[in-house]
Amino acid sequence: MRAAAGGRDSLSSSSVAAVALRALLIATACGLVFALLNLPDGRAGSTPPGGERGAGGGRGARLLVEQGLIREARRLNTVAEEIDGQTDEIAAEEDERISKSPPDTKEKIWMMQDQLIMAKAQCTFSSIAEIEDKRDREGNKPLKWRFPYTWEKMKAMEQTLSKAQRTYPRCSQMTSKLRAMTHNSEELVRAHQSESSFLEQVAVRTLPKGHHCLAMRLTTEYFSLDPKEREFPKRDNRQLDGYYHYAIFSDNVLASAVVVNSTIAASKDPGRIMLHIVTDALNYPAMRMWFLTNPPTPAAIEVESLDDFKWLPGDFSSRFKLKGVRDPRYTSALNHLRFYLPEVFPSLSKVLLLDHDVVVQKDLSGLWNIDMKGKIIGAVETCTSGEGYHGLDSLFDFSNPSISNKFDAKACTFAFGMNIFDLNEWRKHGLTATYHKWFQVGKRQRLWKAGSLPLGQLVFYNQTLPLDRRWHVLGLGHDFSIGRDELESASVIHYSGKLKPWLEISIPKYRDNWNRHLNYDNAYLQQCNIHG
């Protein structure tokens, strides 16, 4: 009953006083009702004032007294309600202090309050019942006192209160039990959330079994080829500006295949496309073998390894490993290779860089004709979303003067994944040296979040040309709310996020956009049990 009466854990001394006063008022009201029941009536032989015994004189006088008592009882009840309201406020204010009281004290207070509540309810119900019984015995019609319960409902309520008192005599024990159950449930939910997060991270950091099988079979086949059969056609044309040059830095064979296939399928002039894939030494044989057996005709293609770039720092492949960070999106050397584009392509003036988790849906040749206005990179801005505006302060620690003195916290962020680069302007501004400077700063102190994205915001600060959002729609790896119209109007869709399309945990409604660019009847895919 303590819980039903309001759920407070304790009462202050002032609260106890108020409850006692309320009990006194209730007792007074009950006494008045009792006096009413024992008033003499005309049939008892008493004589009304003035010595006359009229037919209705005694009963009329008693009725006047009863009405006066009723008004007094109502007034006392109103006062009690006001006191009760004040008691709630006082108890709420002092709840924290009283909660530190000894357990025995709180038990006594709760018991007193329960008894007072029961006394009030039983007094009210009993008084009403006695009045009604007496009225019936006298043959008089009951007075309309405006009580909301009939005789049956009052009896049922009294039985319910008695049953509750017998069933839950110690509300504090029940409260403790419910709190323990709630705590256990919350701990169970947290354990399941932690397990789910861990399994999701495992899925993100590892390729499915079929992908490992594919890489092994392709590697074996590659080394069984004659060295002359390992070369791609049109090798001498890879640096010519007459082509639309696309760069893909990836260690995922199937993901790279989707990017290449979708780019060729969407192009209006695929014969002018030159594809440059750079991978790591481990996946180099498998990547080459895939495109040797699945050439992107009529486009030209070249596959290179990081080991081919002798000008890279000796520790380049391992320098991005971070303690406690295992997500390959944040530790991959291929993600940082984008900051060396002028060195990777020394003879090119422009190149379009695509991440391996994108699908090209429309011809992209128009990006080579965009006026860059002296900027180095063309990108879609990501500072606005359904949740509000997101600036650089969402990625960087602006409490550090090294950041706050050089950058605007509300400057708009931009997306990697589909970017056009003016390499001539890059060389003119020496941005590769800028990258080296900020990379060393980041090694000395933690000023931004993990990954290459924050570092890119610094390197290309004030050097970015905003592109129309229809060029590049992001979020298919985490956002379930992207509409069909937005997807169909996008030139490139990007599965940014953890739920990559080649994983079983990917978002089902976006999976077909990726699967349609793979031929699952391919012998290698069949042998490795890879299906859409």
Tell me the two tokens of residue 416. Answer: 């990697």
Asked if the model's pLDDT at residue 514 lies above 80, the reply is: yes
pLDDT for res 47 = 42
**Chain-centre distance of CA 387, in angstroms?**
12
- For residue 131, pLDDT over 60 is answered with no
| Cα distance between residue 32 and residue 30, in whole Å | 5
pLDDT tens digits, 469-498: 999 999 999 899 999 999 999 999 999 988
Residue 393: per-residue pLDDT: 83
Share of the chain above pLDDT 70, in %: 61
Question: Poorest-confidence range of 162-171, 386-395, 463-472?
Answer: 162-171
What does the pLDDT read at residue 43?
42
Q: Per-residue pLDDT for 20 more than 80?
A: no
Greater pLDDT, 247 or 398:
247
For 441-452, how does the pLDDT look when each residue is reduced to its tens digit (9 = 90+)?
Answer: 877 788 878 778
CB 151 within 8 A of CB 129: yes
* Segments making up each domain of the chain, as ranges: 211-304+345-528
Instruction: Give backbone dihedrals phi and psi of 22, rounded to 5 degrees, phi first.
Output: -65, -45
Q: pLDDT-based confidence at 5, cuts 50/70/90?
A: very low
Distance from C-alpha of 295 to C-alpha of 300, rounded to nearest angstrom: 8
What strand order describes the sheet that includes 472-473? 358-360, 492-494, 472-473
Q: Report CA torsion sign: 508, 509, 511, 516.
A: positive
pLDDT at 53 (0 to 100): 43
Using alpha carbons, list the distances in angstroms from residue 4 to 8, 164, 168.
10, 11, 11
Most confident of 59-73, 170-184, 423-437: 423-437
Which one-letter amino acid corresponds to residue 443?
A: K
Cα gap 194→200, rounded to integer Å? 10
Mean pLDDT of 75-89: 56
Place of tokens 């990379």: 439
Q: pLDDT: is 29 or 433 the higher one? A: 433
CA-nearest of 349, 378, 374, 369 to 465 is: 378
CATH topology assigned to domain 211-304+345-528: Spore Coat Polysaccharide Biosynthesis Protein SpsA; Chain A (3.90.550)
pLDDT per residue as tens digits for the range 265-279: 999 999 999 999 999
Nearest to 70 by CA among 32, 23, 22, 40: 32
Instruction: For residue 394, name the pLDDT band (cuts at 50, 70, 90).
Output: confident
- Mean pLDDT computed over 152-179: 68
Per-residue pLDDT, averaged over 163-168, amounts to 62
Tell me: pLDDT of 236 over 50.
yes
Secondary structure (DSSP) of 304-367: EEGGG-TTS-TTTTTTT-BTTB--HHHH-HHHHGGGGHHHHSTT-SEEEEE-TTEEE-S--GGG
Average confidence score pLDDT of the chain: 77
Helices (H) and strands (E) in the chain, counts: 19, 12
Query: For residue 45, is pLDDT > 50?
Result: no
pLDDT exceeds 60 at position 40? no
Helix axes 209-223, 253-266, angle to 10 degrees: 80
DSSP code, position 387? T
- pTM value is 0.64
